[in-house]
Amino acid sequence: MFFDTHAHYDSYKFNADRDTVLSSLPALGVDLVVDPGCDEASSREAIVLSERYDYLYAAVGWQPQELKESYYDGALDVIQELARHPKVVAIGEIGLDYYWDTSYNALQHEVLRAQLRMALELDLPVIFHDREAHGDSLAIVREFPGVRGVFHCFSGSAEMAKELIKLGWYLGFDGPVTYKNNRKHKEVLEVCPMERILIETDSPYLSPEPNRGTRNHSGNLRYIAEKIGEIKGLSMEDTAHVTAENGRRLFRI
């Protein structure tokens, strides 16, 4: 029933019980998961997990926060090679993050553009991370009209959502839609057509209410689907079904 389009099961936070958690997901109604890499090591780890679990697919890429410490010349040649694995369904996560550190924005822009070119060349969708970088993210995405994907954990305005939808993108929604102060998400969801909405947990982070503050897992998607359904006038089940179909269409699963 559920498709978790963004969950980091390669995270060290699952080291103690990763296989127990992953084995329990089908019984919780989770049919599909995409695990996006954030650097080379986590991209490789996501692929290993995709080989072990039929319902888990991988994405590979360099996330902006990881660039400062460990990025190196030639890193994207490795990603391009990894992307040819049959269970890799996207390039990601990639994007811009001005929240933590703006001292290396030029590198962020360069690596983002290179990965968008790669997605175009390999004909893969992308998983886009945009934190406090809405204007530049939209501007760079516009340079690549042939690239499609999802703005994961979308945090922009309703205006930006409309622009991205016009450009053919999907928007991903996570636990924060269930938080009390979610007026902005409601406005965005109201302008986002149902067929462009994806649901994701971003596990182990961002647990929805009523489990906020605990380690997240894909079984919590029901709370996100329930909240979105409430705003869109759909049942939790129909919301889960439609968003899963959307994910299959985007990632060609």
Binding-residue total with Ni ion (CB under 5 A): 1
Q: Which is nearer to Ni ion, 66 or 202 (CB)?
A: 202
Q: Which is nearer to Ni ion, 206 or 234 (CB)?
A: 206
Q: How many helices (H) and strands (E) does the chain have?
A: 10, 8
Work out how close the CB of 238 gets to Ni ion at its nearest, in angstroms, rounded to a whole number: 26
Which three-class secondary structure string do you get for 181-234? Answer: CCHHHHHHHHHCCHHHEEECCCECCCCCCCCCCCCCCHHHHHHHHHHHHHHHCC
Work out how close the CB of 47 gets to Ni ion at its nearest, in angstroms, rounded to a whole number: 16
List, in sequence order, every beta strand (DSSP E) within 22-125. Answer: 30-36, 56-60, 88-97
Cis peptide bond prior to 204, omega within 30° of 0: yes
Give, as ranges, the residues between 195 and 224 that touch Ni ion (CB under 5 A).
Answer: 202
Residue with the CB atom nearest Ni ion in the bound state: 202
Work out how close the CB of 208 gets to Ni ion at its nearest, in angstroms, rounded to a whole number: 15
Work out how close the CB of 234 gets to Ni ion at its nearest, in angstroms, rounded to a whole number: 26
Q: Which is nearer to Ni ion, 40 or 202 (CB)?
A: 202
Q: Which is nearer to Ni ion, 10 or 202 (CB)?
A: 202
- Residue 137 and residue 194: Cα distance in Å, rounded? 23
Residues that bind Ni ion (CB under 5 A): 202
